[in-house]
Amino acid sequence: MPEVADGTYTRTCPLCEAMCGLRVQVGNGRVTKIRPNPDDVWSKGYICPKGTVLGELHHDPDRIRTPLVKENGAFREATWDEAFESCAAGLAPILEQDGIEAVATYIGNPVAHNFALSRYIPAFIAMSRLHSIYSAGTVDQWPKNLTCALMFGGMWSIPTPDIARTDYLLVLGANPHASQGSLLAAPNVLGHFDAIRQRGGRVVVVDPRRTGTCRHASEWVPIRPGSDAALLLAICHVLFDESRVHLRALEGKVLGVEAVRDACQAFAPEAVEALTRVEASTIRRIARELSSADRAAVYGRIGLCNQEFGTLATWLVDVLNVLTGNLDREGGALWSNPIAWSFVQLPNPEFADGFAFHRWKSRVRGAPEVLGQVPVSCLAEEIATPGKGRVRGLITVAGNPALSAPGADRLDEALPQLDFMISVDNWLNETTRHADVLLPGLSSMEQPHYDELLWSWAIRNAGKYTPALFDPGERPHEGQILLSLAAILQGARPAAIDTDALDQLFFAGLVAGLTQMPGSRIEGRDPAEIISQCGAPGPERILDLQIRTGPWGDRFGRDPDGLRLEEMKRHPNGIDKGALGPRLDEVLKTQSGKVELAPPYILRDLPRLRARLTQAPPHGFVLVSRRHVRSNNSWMHNVPSLMTGKDRCTLLMHPEDASALGLEDGKAARIRSSVGSLVVPVEISDEMMSGVVSLPHGWGHDRAGARLGVASERPGVCNNVLAPGTFIDVPSGNAAVNGIPVEIGPG
Ligand SMILES: Nc1nc2c(c(=O)[nH]1)N[C@H]1C(S)=C(S)[C@@H](COP(=O)(O)OP(=O)(O)OC[C@H]3O[C@@H](n4cnc5c(=O)[nH]c(N)nc54)[C@H](O)[C@@H]3O)O[C@H]1N2
Ligand SMILES: Nc1nc2c(c(=O)[nH]1)N[C@H]1C(S)=C(S)[C@@H](COP(=O)(O)OP(=O)(O)OC[C@H]3O[C@@H](n4cnc5c(=O)[nH]c(N)nc54)[C@H](O)[C@@H]3O)O[C@H]1N2
Ligand code: SF4
Ligand SMILES: [Mo]
């Protein structure tokens, strides 16, 4: 008997920030087809090729459904009780001898997309008392977190470009043609770019590669990787020089305008030409266009963050939005106000007295802590270097750092040196093959869906709930897995763990915190009274709380017509509360109560950039990364229908560069950096600017012991073998996986 009745079901795709609405057809207990949902209030029928493969992911014969425990070097299937007993037995000697300090966790990207993980990762961190925390964040948005912390007072107070209403959009280091938008949640981003042009506006894309996004833009501006901060400072320079700074409604709400004026003195357009390879006249023109447009927004993403001057470049995006008076303004950059708030919006008690960095340093390299983390590239040496404080135990949660971290091969060599490793993951892959215990979560279709984090930078104030489609039976959701692991880390015996009781403890703390939080929508209420109105433990109860205490919530009876989860459930196509509006006063949490345009910590990095202006531009090639719409970081290459067509793991190179090196299209080249070397087929294309080559990230599926039948047939190579772990953006510690100096020759 099929467990699900034949029919068509409404769902939200959990794979990326576009959060598209889907219609899933089920026959005989299997997904037979997935189409876009035209009635979805948010995505209105938009979808990309990945949205159609959720069935393939769910039915993937390689997806792990039963816990695996390693015995004598080989995995065997185990019961959940056995698996947790193994976790406790494996961690016990480490905890007894060296304490919790010797156990680290690595938190991967899907945590942000998974219904249960996103709502229980805070509980896991708090209850386990783990403090050695690594994450994909330090190869991603750490510079943005840093600049938002200092400028606006919240590391996740990230303004989103209002692409639906702007007239002028300056895009740097983002390729929504592949990514579908990042720190910018919007379905059909490129459709918005087209619409901007159709209404007479302009879209300018700054990128060393003429990406698919450029086909939807008015102009492509090629730039030398890593030099965007100089370009943006030169734009600021022109704004000051030509009296084009107009704060508009921000007048009186901003500190540090003069300091920015001083900072960009040395960066006249002519002074940055050689470094950026962008002509001074182009820079002046962009500055004039940006400041004359009625409504304009600057938007930067991974190409800005994952580079040597990630913090400066990321900071300057919002500096320009302020100097042109477009921050917190319709058609500029605005903060969303989602139906269900996210945990990341809660005040962080660690920084109650303001943000402090470098509070401690990593043991081996001495890398300073920033926002509670050191670069993920430190993890390999922290495991491999003997001595007091060595990382002996590791818990990975939905992450594949053996491919995604810079210096990936070093980590791959270090992981077997751990005394014990646990992975919470749905596949046996390059990372999890090293685990001693693999604890699988549910598939996205075996659990409800409602994005926890991503609505925080959505282009509309909205929300969407999807119930589970397939019954997971007795298998625990990842919240229960994490709570069990937290208890084990605190010394509990697995047989004695009651995850509902732990859930209750976490939830009660959350409610109590909200009742005491000034300005919260249940401030001053009795926590017991609130909890009595909530349902059973689980991620849905947390979501219900997030909705009911959100801007449109029922405030537990205070606003009887307000929203609650029950009401969301009656609207499977989502609820839309309209376009974004100004809310700076609500968002701003700096100590000064103003936007801090020139935080000293950020300005301190300027001399490092200024030095580059007078240095001779480096010779040789630099490597950047790319994404493809049919991949998702490292973990969707096992989906047969996404793997058809020509090889995608190629080294993109300009025709003149290829002919100078005597390389032919489709033939192998050897690419070397200071830390590694790879052989990879060349793909010649004039979409690359000369001197820059590009490899996709997330490949290299040829490792023994992984169980990825489809991916291993076309493994590709891991570009992070070439990424030196010490090549970082200094203020944030974020990895510079773009702009890596490389040498290239025949393969
Ligand atoms: N060179 C280079 N390196 C990069 C980047 C780059 O552009 N260039 N990009 C960086 C960025 S932005 C990111 S975000 C990171 C990503 O780095 P990671 O988060 O480490 O890697 P992913 O490839 O996203 O791996 C996701 C893991 O989660 C598992 N998984 C998938 N779905 C689920 C689920 O529902 N539950 C559980 N428990 N597990 C699940 C997968 O099997 C896989 O093991 O990579 C970074 N690394
Ligand atoms: N299909 C698909 N979608 C995804 C992902 C995926 O792997 N596949 N990953 C998801 C994740 S985790 C993230 S973080 C987002 C990322 O989303 P995006 O930021 O849009 O990421 P990319 O598509 O890698 O585009 C980055 C662009 O930066 C350019 N670039 C590199 N170096 C520089 C530089 O120094 N300066 C400038 N100006 N540009 C530079 C690259 O050439 C590339 O075109 O995508 C998400 N969405
Ligand atoms: S753009 Fe594609 S992967 Fe992203 S949510 Fe939509 S269908 Fe899913
Ligand atoms: Mo990412």
Q: Residue whose CA is closest, atom 4 of ligand 3?
A: 16
Question: Quick check: CB of 423 below 6 Å from ligand 1?
Answer: no
Distance in angstroms (rounded) separating the CA atoms of residues 473 and 450: 21
Same domain, 208 and 329: yes
Ligand 1: which residue has its CA nearest to atom 40?
A: 398
How far from chain centre, in Å, is Cα 138? 9
- Output the average pLDDT for the chain: 97
Cα 25 to Cα 10: distance, rounded to the nearest angstrom: 9
Say how many Å lie between the CA of residue 494 and the centre of ligand 2: 42
Is 456 inside a domain boundary? no
CA distance linking residue 92 with residue 51, whole number of Å: 42
Q: Which domain holds residue 709?
A: 618-746
Choose one of 584, 607, 630: the last residue of a domain: 607
- The CATH number of residue 505's host domain is 3.40.50.740
CB 158 within 8 A of CB 301: no
Backbone angles phi, psi at 436, to 5 degrees: -90, -30
Report whether 58 contacts 31 (CB < 8 A). Answer: yes
What is the CA 38 to chain-centroid distance, rounded? 27
The verdict on residue 427 lying in a domain is yes
Is there a domain that residue 590 lies in? no
Rounded to the nearest angstrom, the gap between the alpha carbon of residue 105 and the centroid of all alpha carbons in its chain is: 17
Mutate to test the pocket of ligand 3, among 10, 12, 15 (most ligand atoms within 8 A of CB): 15
Q: Are 213 and 163 in contact (CB under 8 A)?
A: no
Give the residue whose CA is nearest to atom 6 of ligand 3: 20
Q: Which residue of 111, 142, 144, 175 sits with most ligand 2 atoms within 8 Å of its CB, as the best mutation to test the pocket?
A: 175
Per-residue model confidence (pLDDT) at position 2? 62
Number of H helices, E strands in the chain: 24, 26
Ligand 3 centroid to Cα of residue 43, in Å, is 10
Pair 326, 349 in one domain? no
Q: What separation in angstroms does the CA of 289 have from each of 158, 168, 273?
A: 24, 8, 19
Structure tokens at 214: 């450029």
Has residue 681 been placed in a domain? Answer: yes
List 106's β-bridge partners, or say none: 134, 396
User: Which residues form the pocket of ligand 3, taking CB atoms under 6 Å from any ligand atom?
Assistant: 13, 15-16, 18-20, 47-48, 50-51, 180
Residue closest by Cα to atom 33 of ligand 2? 303
Closest ligand to residue 113's CA:
1
Q: Over pLDDT 70: what percentage of the chain?
A: 100
Interval 371-377 mean pLDDT: 98
What average pLDDT does this structure show over 28-41? Answer: 98
Residue 156 belongs to domain with CATH number: 3.40.228.10
Alpha carbons 716 and 639: distance in angstroms, whole number: 15
Q: Whose CA is nearest to atom 2 of ligand 3?
A: 48
Element (DSSP H or E) covering residue 152 = helix 142-152
Q: Is 226 in the pocket of ligand 1 (CB under 6 A)?
A: no
404 CA from centroid of ligand 1 (Å): 6
Report the candidate in 272, 322, 332, 336 with the shortest Cα–Cα distance to residue 147: 322
707 alpha carbon, closest ligand = 1
Please check whether residues 534 and 550 belong to one and the same domain.
Answer: yes
**How many angstroms separate the Cα of 516 from the Cα of each of 102, 127, 510, 629?**
35, 21, 10, 45
Average pLDDT over residues 35-63: 98
Q: Are residues 409 and 374 in the same domain?
A: yes
Residue 619 has pLDDT above 90, yes or no: no
Question: Which mutation among 47, 207, 652 tests ligand 2's pocket best, with the greatest number of atoms within 8 A of CB?
Answer: 207
State whether 54 and 189 are in the same domain: no
Quote the ligand 1 centre to 698 CA distance (angstroms): 8
For 128, phi and psi rounded to 5 degrees?
-80, -20
Instruction: Give the residue carrying structure tokens 């783990």.
Output: 130
Domains in the chain, number: 4
Domain boundary among 20, 37, 59: 59
- Out of 10, 11, 16, mutate this one to test ligand 3's pocket (max ligand atoms within 8 Å of CB): namely 16
Atom of ligand 3 nearest to the CA of 52: 7
Q: Which atom of ligand 3 approaches the CA of 51 most closely?
A: 7
In CATH, what number is assigned to the domain containing residue 646?
2.40.40.20
Same structural domain, 442 and 536: yes
Per-residue pLDDT for 405 more than 70?
A: yes
Lowest mean pLDDT among 86-100, 302-316, 617-631: 617-631
Question: Is 455 a member of any domain?
Answer: no
Residue 296: pLDDT above 60? yes
| Chain length of the chain | 747
Is the pLDDT at 3 greater than 90, yes or no? no
pTM (2 decimals)?
0.98
Mutate to test the pocket of ligand 3, among 10, 11, 20 (most ligand atoms within 8 A of CB): 20
Tell me the C-alpha distance between 158 and 145, whole Å.
Answer: 8
Distance 175 CA to ligand 4 centre (A): 13
Which two three-digit tokens encode residue 39? 């009635």
Ligand positioned closest to the Cα atom of 111: 1
Q: Environment class of residue 365 by beta-carbon count within 10 Å: exposed (0-12), middle (13-18) or buried (19+)?
A: middle
Per-residue pLDDT, averaged over 436-465, amounts to 98
The predicted model gives 274-299 an average pLDDT of 98
Res 520: pLDDT: 96
Residue 388 dihedral angles phi and psi, to the nearest 5°: -65, 135
User: With bands split at pLDDT 50, 70 and 90, how would you rate the model's confidence at 618?
Assistant: confident
Torsion of CA 135, 137, 140, 143, to 10 degrees: -140
Q: How confident is residue 406, by pLDDT bands cut at 50, 70 and 90?
A: very high
Q: Which atom of ligand 3 is nearest to the CA of 12?
A: 5
Identify whether residues 327 and 258 lie together within a single domain.
yes
Alpha-carbon distance of 505 to 459, in angstroms, equals 35
Domain membership flag for residue 358: yes
For residues 701 and 674, membership in a common domain is answered with: yes
CA distances from 163 to 196, 328, 459 (A): 8, 13, 8
* CA-based torsion, 248, 250, 254, 260: positive or negative: negative
| pLDDT at residue 1 is higher than 50 | no
CA 625 to centroid of ligand 1, rounded, Å: 14
Give the CATH number for residue 25. 2.20.25.90
pLDDT digits (tens, 9 = 90+) for 636-677: 999 999 999 999 999 999 999 999 999 999 999 999 999 999
